[in-house]
Amino acid sequence: MIRSFNGKTPRIAQSAFVSEAAYVIGDVEIGENSGVFPGAVIRGDFASIKIGRGTMVEDGSIIHSGVPVEIGDNCTIGHSVVMHGIKVGNNCLLGNNSTILDNVKIGDRCIIAAGALVSPNTEVPDNSMVMGIPGVIKSMSPDRRQQRGQGGNLTYMELIKLYKKQPELGR
């Protein structure tokens, strides 16, 4: 479901997919070849939310804006991630059920482990991993960094093409 709010209408790239069972409202921009899957909620009611190209917002995730939210290109926002007022670089993976709180900045090629809690005002440097509750920042090996830079969303981009062939599933 895509809804205008307070004079702002979501801007969704033609090649992007938004499930009919997702809820996208207000000042939201979704880039080329990105996907928003069932149960995801993207609320641009307090401030803007910008999602880059090739980024996937998986089932049940919530993105809310207390301050402007920016999510880079080729990111995966895993199932049931909760994020509020943050900035995410390019080629990042936010693992299932992770929680990222206010004013967090996540660099490029980072991984937030499944179930991790990233505390408010945390800055995660490029090529880092965050694990645990509260989250502990660790650097990643060069091999792991290279894997994150190789576009882990190619399978989802193919899936989007299939979803778009069935308009009743979304747009």
| pTM of the entire predicted model | 0.92
Structural domains of the chain ordered from first start: 2-165 (2.160.10.10)
d(CA 109, CA 105): 13
pLDDT value, residue 67: 93
Residues of the chain with pLDDT under 70: 144-152
What sign for the dihedral angle of Cα 19, 79, 54, 86? Answer: positive
pLDDT value, residue 19: 96
For residue 111, give the amino acid letter.
Answer: I
pLDDT value, residue 152: 60
Residues whose CB falls within 8 Å of the CB of residue 160, separated by 6 or more in sequence, listed in order? 15, 16, 17, 33, 35
- How far does Cα 77 stand from its chain's mean position? 4
pLDDT value, residue 142: 74
Residue 111 pairs in a beta bridge with 93, 129
pLDDT value, residue 145: 58
Average pLDDT, the chain: 92
pLDDT value, residue 86: 92
44, containing H or E segment: strand 41-51
pLDDT value, residue 144: 66
Q: 86-124: per-residue pLDDT in tens? A: 999 999 999 999 999 999 999 999 999 999 999 999 999
